[in-house]
A and B are shown apart, each in its own frame.
With several copies, the nearest count.
Chain A
Amino acid sequence: MINESGRIISNLKIASNIWRLDIQLPQIVAKRPHPGQFVELLIDRSFAKPLRRPMSIAGYTADVLSIIYKTFGEATRILTTKIAGDFIDVIGPLGNYFELIEDDYSTPVLIAGGVGIPPILWLHQELNRQKQKHFLIIGARTKAEHFITPDNENTLLTTDDGSLGIKGTVIPVLKKIISNVVGTRIFACGPEPMLKSIQKIALATKQPAQLSIESHMACGVGLCQGCVIKRRNYQETEHSYQVKYVLVCSDGPVFKAGEIDFD
Chain B
Amino acid sequence: MTNLTIKIGQTVFKNPVFVASGTFGYGTEINDLTDISALGAIITKSITLHPREGNPPPRTIETLGGMINSIGLANMGVDNYIRDMLPLYHQFPTKIIVNIAGSTMEEYLQVLKKFESVSSNITGYEINISCPNVKEGGMAFGVNADFTARLTEQLRSLTQRLLIVKLSPNVTDITQIGKAAQRAGADAVSAINTLVGMSIDSTTRKSNIYTTYGGLSGPAIKPVALACVHKLFLKLKIPVIGIGGITNVSDAIEFALAGAVAFQVGTANFRDPDIGRKIVYELDDYCTQNNLKYSDLKGQVIRYQ
Touch between A and B in complex, CB under 8 Å?
Answer: yes
The CA-CA distance from A239 to B103 in the complex, in Å, is 14
What string of 1s and 0s marks CB contacts (under 8 Å) between A219-263 and chain B? 101111111111000000011111111000000000000000000
Partner of A3, one of B33, B64, B80: B33
Residues from 54 to 97 in B contacting A, C-beta threshold 8 Å:
54, 56-62, 64-67, 69, 71, 74-77, 80
Contact A239 B77 (CB under 8 A): yes
Instruction: Determine, out of B137-145, B264-272, B281-289, B295-303, the stretch whose residues face the partner at the interface.
Output: B264-272
Partner of B60, one of A221, A226, A239: A226
The CA-CA distance from A241 to B269 in the complex, in Å, is 23
Residues of A close to B268: CB separation below 8 A = 50
Given contacts A223-B29, A244-B53, contact A49 B274 (CB under 8 A): no
B247 at the interface (CB under 8 A from A): yes
B234 at the interface (CB under 8 A from A): no
Residue of A nearest to B209 (CB): A216
Residues of A close to B247: CB separation below 8 A = 47, 50
Interface of A is mostly: loop
Instruction: Determine, out of B8-16, B20-28, B171-179, the stretch whose residues face the partner at the interface.
Output: B20-28
B218 at the interface (CB under 8 A from A): yes
The CA-CA distance from A60 to B45 in the complex, in Å, is 37
Residues of A close to B24: CB separation below 8 A = 223
A52 at the interface (CB under 8 A from B): yes
The CA-CA distance from A1 to B34 in the complex, in Å, is 11
Contact B51 A1 (CB under 8 A): no
Point out which of A2, A47, A52, A227 has the most chain B C-beta atoms below 10 A from its C-beta: A47
- Taking the closest CB of chain A, its distance from the CB of B190, in whole angstroms, is 19
What string of 1s and 0s marks CB contacts (under 8 Å) between B36-64 and chain A? 00000000010000111110111111101
Point out which of B51, B61, B64, B271 has the most chain A C-beta atoms below 10 A from its C-beta: B271
A29 at the interface (CB under 8 A from B): no
The CA-CA distance from A174 to B218 in the complex, in Å, is 45
What string of 1s and 0s marks CB contacts (under 8 Å) between A88-123 and chain B? 010100000000000000000000000000000000
Residues from 40 to 86 in A contacting B, C-beta threshold 8 Å:
42, 47-52
The CA-CA distance from A226 to B69 in the complex, in Å, is 7
Contact A241 B62 (CB under 8 A): no
Residues of B close to A218: CB separation below 8 A = 60, 62, 67, 69, 267, 270
What string of 1s and 0s marks CB contacts (under 8 Å) between B198-219 and chain A? 0000000000000000000011
Residues of A close to B76: CB separation below 8 A = 241-242
A215 at the interface (CB under 8 A from B): yes
Contact A225 B71 (CB under 8 A): yes
Given contacts A47-B247, A51-B270, A51-B271, contact A239 B52 (CB under 8 A): yes
What string of 1s and 0s marks CB contacts (under 8 Å) between B162-195 and chain A? 0000000000000000000000000000000000
The CA-CA distance from A241 to B75 in the complex, in Å, is 6
Residues of A close to B50: CB separation below 8 A = 238-239
Partner of B274, one of A3, A52, A245: A3
- Taking the closest CB of chain B, its distance from the CB of A263, in whole angstroms, is 10
Contact A1 B33 (CB under 8 A): yes
Contact A224 B23 (CB under 8 A): yes
Contact B269 A223 (CB under 8 A): yes
Contact B29 A42 (CB under 8 A): no
Residues of B close to A89: CB separation below 8 A = 272
Residues from 244 to 295 in B contacting A, C-beta threshold 8 Å:
247, 267-274
The CA-CA distance from A2 to B60 in the complex, in Å, is 24
Point out which of A48, A91, A241, A242 has the most chain B C-beta atoms below 10 A from its C-beta: A241
Given contacts A223-B23, A245-B53, contact A47 B218 (CB under 8 A): yes
Residues of A close to B30: CB separation below 8 A = 221-223
- Taking the closest CB of chain B, its distance from the CB of A24, in whole angstroms, is 20
Contact A230 B56 (CB under 8 A): yes
Contact A216 B33 (CB under 8 A): no
| A residues whose Cβ falls under 8 Å from a Cβ of B | 1-3, 42, 47-52, 89, 91, 215-219, 221-230, 238-245
Listed by A's residue number, 17 A-B pairs whose Cβ atoms lie within 8 Å are A50-B67, A50-B219, A50-B247, A51-B62, A52-B270, A91-B33, A218-B60, A218-B67, A218-B267, A221-B273, A223-B29, A223-B269, A225-B71, A226-B59, A238-B50, A241-B74, A245-B56
Q: A50-B219, A219-B273, A223-B273 are in contact. List 4 more A-B contacts (CB 8 A).
A: A47-B65, A218-B69, A242-B74, A242-B76
The 9 closest A-B pairs by CB, nearest first: A226-B60, A239-B50, A241-B51, A219-B270, A218-B60, A226-B59, A244-B53, A47-B219, A241-B76
